[in-house]
Amino acid sequence: MSEILVNKLTGKTTANDITVTVGATATAKLEQGLTKVWGSYNLKDNTAYGAFNVSSNQDLATGRSQFNFTNSLSAINYSVHATSRWEINTTSQSQSQFCSATMLATGSVQTTTEDNAAAGTAEDARYITVSVRGDLA
């Protein structure tokens, strides 16, 4: 097995243009495949478990929060993956919740969490994760 050890990758022609080739013809741009923002939070007490490129999390209302980015994205047509559950303890039964990204901006994303068992009643999640893929500004 080969191993390459580097501290920095820079495109030869353009600094951020690094192409990854898989097989004979499949290629992808390295930068486009990277997660630009991610965060893991307890919305009940606004505790961050871990985050990357998140400057702050705002509690907007019950079941609604906003994740503000440290570095903005270039456009609002980015991809968001948001999930939530009531408990973070893996030994207990998790309550069913629905989580969605409801408002996208270049510098933030808003999420809504609802209790599936209570016909869509807004509820703060004890554990929410958000990840964003798109182009940085």
pLDDT at 50: 94
Is 21 contained in some domain? no
Contact status, residue 24 vs residue 17, Cβ threshold 8 Å: no
Domain that holds residue 44: 35-133
In what order do the strands lie in the sheet containing 37-42?
47-52, 37-42, 127-133, 79-85
Give 95's DSSP letter. Answer: P
Q: Note whether residue 13 is domain-resident.
A: no
Is 43 contained in some domain?
Answer: yes
In a domain, 39, yes or no: yes
| Amino acid letter for position 113 | T
- State which H helix or E strand residue 119 sits in: none
Q: Look at residue 26 in the predicted model and tell me its pLDDT.
A: 72
pTM of the model: 0.79
Q: Which residues of the chain fall short of a pLDDT of 70?
A: 86-96, 118-119
Total tally of structural domains belonging to the chain:
1
**pLDDT value at position 88?**
53
Contact 19, 12 (CB under 8 A): no
73-113 residue pLDDT tens:
999 999 999 988 766 555 555 566 778 888 999 999 999 88
